[in-house]
Amino acid sequence: MSLIRRNADLFNFPNLFDDFFTRDVFNSGGTTFSSTGTTIPAVNIRETNDDFEVEMAAPGMNKKDFKIELDGTLLTISSEKTDEHEEKEGTYSRREFSYQSFKRSFTLSKDVVDIDKIKARYENGLLYLRIPKKEEAKQKPPRMIEIS
């Protein structure tokens, strides 16, 4: 689950093919499984001229289930959710427990992004992060240079 990005240096991922080979080919939901068998939500990262947009698929969660932490240039998105359900009928009872958790980390380049202006929202099963670029890191439109 890695991607090397050389031109903007925003996210530092060691190996492009890790995600491809750890993804369950028969799983149409795009969820990746770690070596411990826990699910890791799929992440899309899109770069625009003004910012980086991160979308993470995490259906069934609530915004209070997420923890987004920035430690220096390390951005970590994690979640823990527990559920307990009990049904009683006569002398029989049934109790079920479930526990979900994941953690994804990304290294941000302090020279490219404005870490003080990162925004996040959770809507319809998707977690969105907007990571603005610093003004000096934005690509400038082409300009004509006058010949003297």
Return d(Cα 106, Cα 76) in angstroms, integer.
6
Model pLDDT for residues 97-130, shown as the tens digit of each residue: 888 888 999 888 888 889 889 999 999 999 999 9
The fold of the 17-136 domain, in CATH, is Immunoglobulin-like (2.60.40)
- DSSP per position, 25-70: TT-TT--EE-TTS-EE--EEEEE-SSEEEEEEE-TT--GGGEEEEE
Which 3 state secondary structure label does DSSP give 117? helix
Model pLDDT for residues 26-37, shown as the tens digit of each residue: 344 444 544 445
What is the arithmetic mean of pLDDT over 35-53? 80
Model pLDDT for residues 55-93, shown as the tens digit of each residue: 999 888 888 999 999 888 899 999 988 888 888 888 888
Which pLDDT does position 32 carry in this prediction? Answer: 52
